[in-house]
Structure 1
Amino acid sequence: MIIYPAIDLKDGKVVRLLQGRMEDATVYSDNPAEVAADFKDRGSKVLHIVDLNGAFSGKPVNDEAIRDIVKNVSLKIQVGGGIRTLARVEELLELGVARIILGTAAVRDPELVMEAVRRYGDQIIVGIDAKDGMVAVQGWAESTDLKAEDLGKAMKQVGVSRIVFTDISRDGMLGGPNIASTVSMAETTGLKVIASGGISALDDLKKLKAEADHGIAIEGAIVGKAIYSGAFTLEEALQVIC
């Protein structure tokens, strides 16, 4: 299992939100590249970045920060947030991003996902964000009547092999991830799942790893606020999944 430390970008700064609400943002740093370099120094080989401005508006705002991270920190970086055209996918890949996460596009434009997977294969990930089992889009600002697991099955059909699955109600709350929903998503869809939302203690990671060790396709976990708030260190998290 892989630990993905997270950098959420808003107006070029590293922030964390509560349940995806832009008005509930806590700023942790105005130097994203410095935060990324610290993650690398602490042992990470990967990084999860979300362009929050892009997620809400569909327009990139944080490319300068992303470019700075890619240029100066040798991590395998995946980026999501507001990526809704093939041109945008190509822009980010040309910046040096390793993997692209498509979220709203998976609901609104599944043909885009299909074509992106055809061109770029495993470099394309789909982000499925759910509240009470139903998909939310536009940076979680809009709910849909689409079941999260049904979207997962549809994405599997168009060639997607890996998703980031977030339970919005748990995100940023440090209340623990929704492990049952994460397991169900992996079992029901046949997709590899990166768990996201609510990881608050090393025990949460131990539980996810136990499921992975029993054959559930939980490939990794995204950790953000728990590290920033000092609930545990990145080194401790990496040690748990060894």
Structure 2
Amino acid sequence: MMIYPTLQILNGACVVLEQGCLDDPIIWHSDPKACVRDYAATGAEWIHLTDLNAVQGDYNQTEFMADLVRAAQVPVQFAGGLRTEKHVTDWIDRGVGRVVLSTMAARDPRLIMELAHHYPDQIVVSVDVWQGKVMTEGWRATGAWEPKAMMRAYDPLPLAGFIVTDIDNDIGDVEEPLALISGLARSVRSPVIASGIVRTLDDIARLKYVRNIAGTLVGTALIQQHFDLAHALETARPEPEPIAAML
């Protein structure tokens, strides 16, 4: 299972949001470039970056985010404010490995189909669930899609996968979001990345045995030092199959 160390960037700093609320961000690191380099040096195979300014329609830190992509030295999964075809093509041209589409996916299925075929294995559809519906506009608006219907509609496309977040339980108990995400993962063939669910190494250990969950975003738990990235990567590695002794 893949661990995606996750950084949310607002006004050039790494921040923590409570249930995705942008009204009261907590700054925890003023040097995101040092963070991405540390994650890569520790062994991360991917890094997930979110441009929170772009989520709000402010694209003034685009060049700063592009510098972070270059500094990472490993593939970047990029999210935040990707609402037009040009946004997608620009970021892929800038070298990101994948782009994460949320609002666009909820509103323009035809464009998602075109992008998925043009950029196979580089498009990730984000499914942010609140009270049984898929949220848009950075979790600020309720869309018309139900999560399972949306995922099944996009499942035949050559996507890199889905990211699923249970917003209802973003900072609450692990059991309910685990049940929701694992149920949605079983309903599609495309790989699913779990979000907002890892608090401890035990959560990672459980996730890696859930059918069709190919990875998890890990952000706040690393920031709050519940564990370090090296231990997360080690926990996520598959355990070797037992080999029968030769007689």
TM-score by length of 1: 0.92
Query: 2:143: which partner in 1?
Result: 144
- Alpha-carbon deviations, 1:8-63, whole Å to 9, x = none? 11112111111110013111122211110111122212100111222232x43332
Structure 1 pair 232/175, CA: closer, same or farther in 2 (3 Å)? farther
Letter in structure 2 aligned against 1:25: P
Query: 1:25: which partner in 2?
Result: 25
2:232 to 212, 234, 237: 237
For 1:161 and 1:241, the matched residues in 2 are separated by: 19
For 1:97 and 1:191, the matched residues in 2 are separated by: 20
Query: 1:218: which partner in 2?
Result: 213
Q: Answer with 1 or 2: which has the greater Rg.
A: 2
Structure 2 gaps of 5+ residues are 238-247
Query: 1:53: which partner in 2?
Result: 53
Superposition deviation, residue 170 in structure 1: 3.1
Query: 2:131: which partner in 1?
Result: 132
Contact 2:178–2:197 (8 Å) recurs in 1: no
Query: 1:108: which partner in 2?
Result: 107
Query: 2:245: which partner in 1?
Result: none
Query: Which is further off, 156-165 or 224-233?
Result: 156-165
Superposition deviation, residue 175 in structure 1: 4.2
Question: SS state of the match for residue 135, structure 1?
Answer: strand
Matches within 5 A, 1:5-44: 5-44=5-44
Contact 2:122–2:159 (8 Å) recurs in 1: no
For 2:231 and 2:64, the matched residues in 1 are separated by: 27
Superposition deviation, residue 159 in structure 1: 4.3
Superposition deviation, residue 167 in structure 1: 1.1
Structure 1 pair 25/149, CA: closer, same or farther in 2 (3 Å)? same
TM-score by length of 2: 0.90
Letter in structure 2 aligned against 1:181: L
Query: 1:165: which partner in 2?
Result: 164
Question: SS state of the match for residue 88, structure 1?
Answer: helix
Superposition deviation, residue 192 in structure 1: 0.8
